[in-house]
Structure 1
């Protein structure tokens, strides 16, 4: 895809300069891909929104005014600091999430991308995604983001029914959503993702499927289906608790999901992850890195990350959470270069549990080669090959364990949570058996 070349030249120039620098550092030897410990994705959290939606409990704020220059400076500083702390030399993808990052100025996006490209190797064709809401995303604004290097959009459409949008507290109408979607597809052909929610109070299967069919007449090559989760502290949760709204029906939500999967499959979409569907190869490479348990750095208030800090002996990956409240986060970034509030070392078993849970969310599952990158001694066959419970799941056609690895069938992908109730204890038992054989007996 060709994008307008205006401000993007700053990022591209920085990327090429970083590439020349890395090549110079490696002169005299063969050029090898960066090892896994030196590669990561980057998540940038913009915490501000125009209003809080009725279902949302994410870390977001509705400010009277935003000192964007100060926020921009802190995002740049924290990105540079975490790249240094992690020893990451290649950034595979960048995702601007929130909040509503389309409320930020393109200048902020450009500043972050240029800082990243100067601190590490950011390929000129790396996937750079921006989340956008229809009401904050006029065509001219989307075009401006394209000029600074954004090459993929994720649009929070949520519904094509105005009454449902009002129920959710969204500030856009169905016609707003379709107009923004058309403008986005014109600017980013083949690189636009849309979200559609299911399982809302009083929502029925037939009308929801009608929305999905209508969306297929307008959408690009990536659709995400998300079931509403009623979270304590949200307006929708309170309305259901007080009886003002009926509680969502889980049986109806399951039926929507199953029938929606079929509709998307018949429209040529591959369900490459539990909630995500793509055709024409339009997978989200950034999210794919999450599901493959790759490293990622979280920048911004409340952002999460998982990476191996430099100097940690090459063994312990950490889960990190940045300070939630933006003003406090900015104070910490100015003082320390980053606003990490919590660091949790991940044990070997914890990491394997993540590899299992995240990998099985995808249609490819976990290959033997991928598993061995995290656990070279205990194979998938060792863990699951002799289990009676796992054998029953294989016989039911919900799981497959073969020369490729372990994965869910198409039917199994829809009931992954129930499969994990068997698989996780099996992994824990196999791990404990292995540990017991390594402990010397007195």
Structure 2
């Protein structure tokens, strides 16, 4: 049986904006043919500034896209060259302004910090420039070096040096202070929104809702009711594009692996993802996955969670479990102990 209703569609990974608007339109028609796709559904497309001309974006809007996520990354041309990006700062600004004209209030930008040689002052200057023309959603990501890239080879070879951890922490805190002062809500570790412009699609991940991943390397989490399933599954699509297409043509799908998640595995995901949000894990959401063991039962007694509450990093009350403002910045170091407590 088809899902009752689709709340969001997200075209991401690679550079979807290189595709034809007709391709996106055909895909959305296929989604609408398989399930109810209301006009209110959020339909996001990731775009690079180099492939985000006004006429091209207008084509995507006509195809059914109603939200854009633009990979600005930096507003410094030297940093963009270091990252190997094809666009310039001026092109990034132009792409965002064009997108805002077509998708007002629904244009997000991505920015990177922690680049080799980057100072906190340079990062703050770039963010201030972005605040001068951005819309109502910003995602901030610490640079991750990827094997096989020229930048990774330079850093690992010692030619360039990544910022130390204390400087990375300063960059993050500086950004958070600036964005909150500009009216943004820090609603997830890496995401900020104002005027209610939260990403519906990404919230579905963090709230452990059901989602279907389609395309090379895509991941999904859902209960396959149509196949007679009754348990939440993790599904992973074949990574290599050519192999994925061959599998779809020969067997009707590109699913490489499917795993039925145990109740403990589901609770681990709820914990790790839910604590990324400022709202945390609500009592109601936890009860959906753990009807017989409440948050108070698991984290209310002596143990790691109690210590983190006493230190001011964690909050457990009638609403649920969440990080404090200070704890959210330290989530990666808090999670291992909390996961151990859950497993016990």
Q: Same fold by TM (over 0.5)?
A: yes
Indicate which of 419, 423, 426 corresponds to 2:334: 419
Shift of 1:381: 0.3
Q: Distance in 2 between matches of 1:101 and 1:133?
A: 9
Taking a change above 3 Å as real, the CA distance of residues 311 and 215 of structure 1, as seen in their structure-2 partners, is closer
Preserved contact between residue 272 and residue 278 of structure 1 (Cα < 8 Å):
yes
Q: Secondary structure at the match of 2:7?
A: strand
Q: Distance in 1 between matches of 2:286 and 2:86?
A: 44
Preserved contact between residue 318 and residue 344 of structure 1 (Cα < 8 Å):
yes
Q: Secondary structure at the match of 1:91?
A: coil
Shift of 1:218: 0.5
Partner of 2:59: 144
Q: TM-score, normalised by structure 1?
A: 0.76
Q: Distance in 2 between matches of 1:186 and 1:90?
A: 29
Indicate which of 162, 180, 204 corresponds to 2:77: 162
Taking a change above 3 Å as real, the CA distance of residues 333 and 155 of structure 1, as seen in their structure-2 partners, is same
Give the aligned CA root-mean-square deviation in angstroms.
1.2
**Structure 1 unaligned regions, length at least 5:** 1-83, 430-442
Partner of 2:318: 403
Higher mean displacement: 324-333 or 166-175: 324-333
Q: Distance in 2 between matches of 1:312 and 1:118?
A: 18
Partner of 1:175: 90
Indicate which of 22, 46, 67 corresponds to 1:131: 46
**Structure 2 unaligned regions, length at least 5:** none
Partner of 1:44: none
Point out the structure with max Rg over C-alpha. 1
Indicate which of 260, 283, 296 corresponds to 2:211: 296
Q: Distance in 2 between matches of 1:226 and 1:397?
A: 25
Q: Distance in 1 between matches of 2:48 and 2:146?
A: 21
Shift of 1:348: 1.0
Q: Secondary structure at the match of 2:56?
A: helix
Q: Tell me if 1:268 matches 2:183.
A: yes
Preserved contact between residue 135 and residue 172 of structure 1 (Cα < 8 Å):
yes
Shift of 1:89: 3.2
Query: What do the CA deviations read for 1:183-206 (whole angstroms, capped 9, x no partner)?
Result: 000110000000010001010000
Q: Tell me if 1:91 matches 2:6.
A: yes
Partner of 1:278: 193
Shift of 1:312: 6.4
Q: Distance in 2 between matches of 1:135 and 1:125?
A: 29
Indicate which of 116, 119, 122 corresponds to 1:201: 116
Q: TM-score, normalised by structure 2?
A: 0.97
Higher mean displacement: 121-130 or 386-395: 386-395
Shift of 1:106: 0.4
- The number of equivalent residue pairs is 344
Partner of 1:185: 100
Shift of 1:395: 1.7
Partner of 2:129: 214
Shift of 1:409: 0.8
Shift of 1:313: 5.9
Partner of 1:356: 271
Q: Distance in 2 between matches of 1:364 and 1:234?
A: 37
Q: Tell me if 1:116 matches 2:31.
A: yes
Higher mean displacement: 186-195 or 243-252: 243-252
Q: Secondary structure at the match of 1:98?
A: coil
Q: Secondary structure at the match of 2:115?
A: coil
Preserved contact between residue 361 and residue 416 of structure 1 (Cα < 8 Å):
yes
Q: Distance in 1 between matches of 2:250 and 2:4?
A: 25
Q: Distance in 1 between matches of 2:123 and 2:226?
A: 52
Higher mean displacement: 247-256 or 360-369: 247-256
Q: 4+ residue runs of structure 1 moved beyond 6 angstroms?
A: none
Q: Tell me if 1:346 matches 2:256.
A: no
Q: Distance in 2 between matches of 1:235 and 1:382?
A: 50
Shift of 1:158: 0.2
Partner of 1:55: none
Partner of 1:326: 241
Q: Secondary structure at the match of 1:157?
A: strand
Indicate which of 142, 154, 179 corresponds to 1:227: 142
Query: What do the CA deviations read for 1:382-431 (whole angstroms, capped 9, x no partner)?
Result: 000012432221122111101101001111111011111221111001xx
Shift of 1:311: 6.0
Q: Secondary structure at the match of 1:223?
A: strand
Q: Distance in 1 between matches of 2:229 and 2:247?
A: 27
Preserved contact between residue 219 and residue 234 of structure 2 (Cα < 8 Å):
yes
Preserved contact between residue 199 and residue 250 of structure 1 (Cα < 8 Å):
no
Indicate which of 217, 224, 247 corresponds to 1:309: 224
Q: Tell me if 1:240 matches 2:138.
A: no
